[in-house]
Structure 1
Amino acid sequence: MTGQDPTAVEIDTSRPHPARMYDWYLGGKDNYPVDEEMGRQMLALDPRVPVMARVNRAFMHRTTRWLAEQGIRQFLDIGTGIPTEPNLHQIAQRIAPDARVVYCDNDPIVLAHAAALLRSTPEGTTEYLQADVRDPDAILAGAEQILDLDRPVALSLVALLHFIPDEDGAHDLVGRLLAELPSGSHLVMTHATADFTPEESAAATEKLKAAGVTLALRSREEFARFFDGLELIEPGVEIVHRWHPELGEPVPGQDDGVIPGYGAVARKR
């Protein structure tokens, strides 16, 4: 689906990239010195950053498991990131081998690793789409080649929208994607916030901005707006690691303190 040759991909290693920094936080090897350097600067501001990355990953595991158990058989994961097992399709297809999954990202390094994402069960389907969340029409056009958009789809936007400021139309992008999905579809999101660490978050935002990375931290109320008109699944908008923790294992290093990020799942009526 990518229409591109992964071996021809050119990766910019002159400045940090959020996906590669995320990979470094998770202990991966698909990152560069510039990503590690910025990652260490973020650690100096808030040593919980790697835990935050793992908490987001664990949230994706729990929500995917829950959705598959509710009968969802189609998943559209935008902002996939560098593959880290278990991936979303592995979680979904353990419960529903016939699940269909489309991954989407615009990062060249993810494209280079796309083959690792395409190991589907024989009964199901797993595909990768090279596209940007800022171009929802292209995403929908590619997704409908694999997914039946007349049947419910789980739209996953995990740790993504805090890189899209309001002036770039973040809410309109989510609305456009949801508009093409039928009743019974679900929106899955996590989002970083400055609600609990305003000074550290402001410093981190400035450092990333200087490195060419935009960070649009939102309050609980601002995050909740993405779910306007949808039916929030209990417990609603919650601190990421407090969303149904019984569905997964605790993240190493996680305590009962507040991890500065929100997560939620909502159903389209």
Structure 2
Amino acid sequence: MSAGLAGPRGAVRPLMQLVTMSGAPILRQLHLEERLLRCTGDNWCIINDGTAPATIVMGVSGRVSELVEIQPVLRDQVPVIRRFSGGGTVIVDQGTVFVTFICSKNAIAGLQPFPRDIMSWTGQLYEKVFASFGEFHLLENDYAFSHRKFGGNAQSITRNRWVHHTSFLWDYDMKNMDYLKIPKRAPKYRLARNHTDFLCSMKEYMPSRSVFTEGITCALRDHFTVQPMELETAFSDDKEFVPSTKLLSPQDLEAIISSKETHTVHEVQA
């Protein structure tokens, strides 16, 4: 663990490398995060303000046929990515702000590298960011204002490191939500609400994106010595690293449709 400056009680704060991007393709961001998780021992915070084009991002074990409206996605040529981490399915675009923490397991004193413990710590950190702007809650595995979700999370934990990444809805295009099915395993607090009633945008509560990102940096300084890092330095080429995050091809999606149709025919014949 890299050492930083001494804290107010003499404790040495670990170093957190901060990489900020604007409009980076989400596939490139996920490849960067996976490489930093698996190939470095440093602590990182990645902030990406918006992405294009609108893209569906699924968890590593999500079933496309249960989560995505495949025919409209193919028709409108919406990219679909299967990322390296767990969690649910989201559609992201220029209205999404991404924040990722990649840490060694001993970076935060007392934090056990388990999903619930990590969620608890990040929830407390974001509570500092949002305290002045709304009734912030960590509800199950989501970030919400009151009872409406504005941040979805995913995690991956390795032997010595973990990643927690969030897609925050600064704003969203409700039409894009039509590409997603309501998952069978929805959080209890959703109460079968549709996307319109379940989601909210951060711009309803905060004055600007910069206020949000500056708040994150301030909250991190309670735990880390934050050091800005140039993207080019962080994203140095590593020819030996092969990311598991993949862009699904149209042929992949068409094969899922064909497989589902074949399965249905067999059920009817039976």
**TM-score, normalization: structure 2?**
0.29
Q: Looking at both structures, which has the greater relative contact order when contacts are Cα pairs under 8 Å and sequence separation is at least 6?
A: 2
Which one has a larger percent strand, Structure 1 or Structure 2?
2
Tell me which structure has the larger Cα radius of gyration. Answer: 2
Which one has a larger percent helix, Structure 1 or Structure 2?
1
**TM-score, normalization: structure 1?**
0.29
